Structures are given as C-alpha cells and as structure tokens.
C-alpha cells in the first residue's frame, strides 16, 4: 500500500489553510489566543445576518448572525474563530468532548511544556484535564503532552516531541515538526 501518492500534477499543490472554531464570545476568545499562544489578530469581519446553511436532514437553514476573527499563530497556522448569535435552534449545553462524534482538539507544540503548563495553571480561566504526561513505549515513546479546557470548553493539547521517535524506524513517513525544529532523515542517522 502506498504511503503517499503525489497528485500535485493533477490538482496543484495542497496545504492546510486554517482551523475554524466556534466560540460563544469572540472578544474573549481572541484575547485568550493572543495572550496564551502569542497569536496575531489578523482581522475581524461581520456581523453577517442570516448566515445559516442547510444541513443534511434539515429543510431550511438556521437563521443566525455570524462574526468572525482570523488569527495567525507564527508561521504554523491560521485560526478562524466564529461567533454565532441570534440562533433559532437549540444549542448544546457543552462543547463536544474529543471522544464524541464531531469532537476534536487543537494541539500546540510547545518547547518548554512544563513551564507553559505552570504559566497556564496560574490563570483562573482554564481547567487542566491532566498534568503533563510522558508517553512510555509505543510509536511515540518519550512524547510529553497534557490537555486543558479553555473558558468556553474547547479542548487544547500541549505537546512536545523530539525527532527520532520509535515509529520512524518502521516507515519513511514523518510527522511535521514545529517550524523551528529540524527533522532527522536517514542521511542524518
């Protein structure tokens, strides 16, 4: 089975552009990402009235208002924060958990995971799910990680890993490292 098929000649180059996250309070979420993750606030747009879509199984779009902000996190990622208001449909009482269908989490690679965790624990608006753990055994042995919840319930993972993880001995494929890291290649070994 091929690990990766290069189809760029057929469809052009492809890259991840952004992650979109729904938030209950746009200003609070922008401030959080700017303060905690050094994001740059690129722009805010809206309000856009009647911005609903027709979802499968629904006869008409939900009537709602949308405001959004786009943030940039260094050279790694654009984050689109979406605040929907004036909703006409019932809203869930909590964000989906990562294990729920449609659940998700956002992960930030941090160089000093223990220092970052200490600084976040000093805030009164986040809730940690666990202390930093170190993966023992398996394909990502030595990887450090922890999860916390933002004030509005988004699950965020902090992660730190070094190139040369055990999985690399079983495949030529590699996870994408933080941009300031260099990946080990067979030529380097």
Q: What is the pLDDT of residue 96?
A: 80
Q: What is the pLDDT of residue 63?
A: 82
Residue 177 is encoded by which pair of tokens? 């490292």
Q: Dihedrals φ, ψ of 46, to 5°? A: 100, 180
Q: What is the pLDDT of residue 182?
A: 57
Q: What is the pLDDT of residue 187?
A: 46
Contact 62, 87 (CB under 8 A): yes
Q: What is the pLDDT of residue 1?
A: 46
Q: What is the pLDDT of residue 58?
A: 81
**Sheet hosting strand 40-48, strand order edge to edge:** 18-22, 77-85, 65-73, 40-48
Angle at 23 between CA 46 and CA 52, to 5 degrees: 55
Q: Dihedrals φ, ψ of 9, to 5°? A: -65, -30
pTM metric for this prediction: 0.81
Q: What is the residue-level pLDDT of the chain in tens, covering all 189 positions?
A: 456 667 666 767 767 789 999 999 999 999 999 999 999 999 999 999 877 777 778 888 888 889 999 999 988 889 999 999 887 777 777 778 888 877 889 999 999 999 999 999 999 999 999 999 999 999 999 999 999 999 999 999 999 999 899 999 999 888 888 887 654 444 444
Q: Dihedrals φ, ψ of 114, to 5°? A: -70, -40
Domains of the chain by start residue, with CATH: 17-91 (3.30.720), 94-189 (3.30.720.110)
Contact 133, 148 (CB under 8 A): no
């Amino acid at each position: 089975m091929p690990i990766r098929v290069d189809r760029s000649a057929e469809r052009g180059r492809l890259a991840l552009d952004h992650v979109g996250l729904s938030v209950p309070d746009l200003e609070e979420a922008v401030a959080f990402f700017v303060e905690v993750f050094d994001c740059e606030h690129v722009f805010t747009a809206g309000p856009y009235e009647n911005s609903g879509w027709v979802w499968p199984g629904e006869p008409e779009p939900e009537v709602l208002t949308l405001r959004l902000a786009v943030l940039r996190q260094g050279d790694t990622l654009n984050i689109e924060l979406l605040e929907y208001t004036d909703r006409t449909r019932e809203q869930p009482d909590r964000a989906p958990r990562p294990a729920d269908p449609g659940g998700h989490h956002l992960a930030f690679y941090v160089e000093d995971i223990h220092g970052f965790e200490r600084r976040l624990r000093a805030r009164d608006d986040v809730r940690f799910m666990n202390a930093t753990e170190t993966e023992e055994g398996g394909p990502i042995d030595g990887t450090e990680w922890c999860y916390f919840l933002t004030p509005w319930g988004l699950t965020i993972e902090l992660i730190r890993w070094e190139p040369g993880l055990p999985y690399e001995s079983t495949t030529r494929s590699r996870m994408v490292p933080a941009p300031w890291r260099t990946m080990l290649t067979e030529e380097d070994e």
